[in-house]
Amino acid sequence: MSGSRKMVLGFVAAASMAIAPLMVAAPATAATDYANCKALNADYPHGVGQPGAVDSTSGTPVTNFTVDQALYDANTKSDRDGDGIACEKH
């Protein structure tokens, strides 16, 4: 291996060792687990649902809820009708 090739490989190795620690992902923040629907609706007035959820109602369905899987998962206890939307309201 030529001297210049070794030098280039040395620079690449040194650069990757310097950059690698910066590439570590920051830990994800936990979704808020609200105590009840009143607390959740203060931040999300129309509720929170999982992607693809459809409001099960005999009236006009809620379609303007916030879609957020992690937030829904943290508040599934508030999805009383099991339609994939917690604390939905018009």
Give the whole-angstrom CA distance, residue 39 versus residue 72. Answer: 14
Entry pTM: 0.67
Give the whole-angstrom CA distance, residue 63 versus residue 33. Answer: 22
Q: What is the pLDDT of residues 7-36, one digit of tens each?
A: 656 655 555 565 555 555 545 578 999 999
Q: What is the pLDDT of residues 24-79, one digit of tens each?
A: 554 557 899 999 999 999 999 999 999 999 998 878 899 999 999 999 999 999 99
Q: How high is the pLDDT of residue 58?
A: 77
